[in-house]
């Protein structure tokens, strides 16, 4: 079973809690050894720019040294 969790700092360690649904499904008890695999997730930029339509030729980035037609 898999879950995504954010570690939090307690003392000098980072702690990750196991969600209740996983505890119940796996029948885990306090003090029971479990195997944990750590994989860092990349942040997704999906949905950051909601409402912005697709780019067009007019959306070209104008550099500082380029002349343009007065649009900002």
Residue 68 lies in a domain: no
Residue 12 lies in a domain: yes
What pLDDT shows up at residue 41? 84
Structural domain for 25, as ranges:
1-29
Q: Which tens digits make up the pLDDT trace of 51-69? A: 777 777 766 666 666 666 6
Indicate the number of domains in the chain: 1
What pLDDT shows up at residue 68? 60
Residue 18 lies in a domain: yes
- How far is the C-alpha of 16 from the C-alpha of 9, rounded, in Å? 9
Residue 45 lies in a domain: no
Residue 23 lies in a domain: yes
Residue 11 lies in a domain: yes
Model's pTM, two decimal places? 0.53
Q: Which tens digits make up the pLDDT trace of 1-57? A: 888 889 999 999 999 999 999 999 999 999 999 999 999 888 777 667 777 777 777
What pLDDT shows up at residue 10? 95
Residue 36 lies in a domain: no
- How far is the C-alpha of 16 from the C-alpha of 66, rounded, in Å? 51
Per-residue CA distances from 30 to 8, 18, 27, 45 (Å): 19, 11, 10, 37
């Amino acid at each position: 079973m898999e879950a995504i969790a954010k570690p939090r700092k307690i003392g000098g360690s980072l702690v990750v809690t196991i969600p209740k649904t996983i505890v119940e499904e796996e029948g885990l008890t306090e003090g029971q050894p479990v195997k944990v695999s750590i994989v860092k997730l990349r942040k997704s930029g999906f949905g950051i720019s909601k409402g912005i339509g697709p780019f067009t030729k007019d959306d070209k980035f104008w550099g500082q040294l380029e002349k343009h037609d007065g649009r900002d």
